[in-house]
Chains A and B, each alone.
Chain A
Amino acid sequence: GDSVTQMEGPVTLSEEAFLTINCTYTATGYPSLFWYVQYPGEGLQLLLKATKADDKGSNKGFEATYRKETTSFHLEKGSVQVSDSAVYFCALSHNNNDMRFGAGTRLTVKP
């Protein structure tokens, strides 16, 4: 079945450092790929998405490119802020079906 493998955390960075969180997937067909962010005590918020190969999703300085050849959707940000501290989930979904999530990566950004 479909699955998502995500870089294990926790990840601790200094403010303005470069962030990469790796995500690879296994799926049949051509799923849509997502990154969700969860702040403490809250539900999930969509950060960005890509629906087909070579698409780049971007939002709030975060980017991820749908790489079918490497079945990857790595999350990057050039300069992290303290407010980016959260748990990040990579996920995939086929239309109208449930989502499959990676294990989540906890990011802590220190001033």
Chain B
Amino acid sequence: GAVVSQHPSRVICKSGTSVKIECRSLDFQATTMFWYRQFPKQSLMLMATSNEGSKATYEQGVEKDKFLINHASLTLSTLTVTSAHPEDSSFYICSARDPRASTEAFFGQGTRLTVV
């Protein structure tokens, strides 16, 4: 099946710094990617929909200036957590749809962000 690769898998950063998370579709072109956030022992909450070549669509309550999304190519979307604070610590997961299998989304391995 299609593979989505997310990097890094774990990152620890200091409060006030920015962190970039990459999401790559390895064997297909993804015009749309999705970014989710998962709090401990909770479900995944959609943060934003990333569209190649255009602005991301953010869910209500998600700060677009804090969570910058760039989808510059058909195989790469990035999420940058700007001026990170401890409350941003979470598990972030991206997903992408393979146009050849439109009913299924493929997920990255996730990124555990810890802000200290």
Contact = CB atoms under 8 A, between A and B. Distances in A.
B42 A43 contact: no
11 contacts: A32-B103, A32-B104, A43-B108, A49-B103, A49-B104, A93-B105, A96-B102, A98-B34, A98-B49, A99-B34, A104-B42
Nearest to B32: A96
Given A43-B107, A44-B95, A100-B46, 15 more contacts: A36-B107, A41-B110, A43-B6, A44-B44, A44-B93, A46-B104, A51-B103, A89-B43, A96-B97, A99-B105, A101-B43, A101-B44, A103-B43, A104-B43, A106-B41
A contacts with B: majority SS: strand
A46 B3 CA distance: 12
Interface in B66-116: 93, 95, 97, 102-110, 112
Contacts of A100: 46
Nearest to A100: B46
A26 B91 CA distance: 27
A93 B103 contact: yes
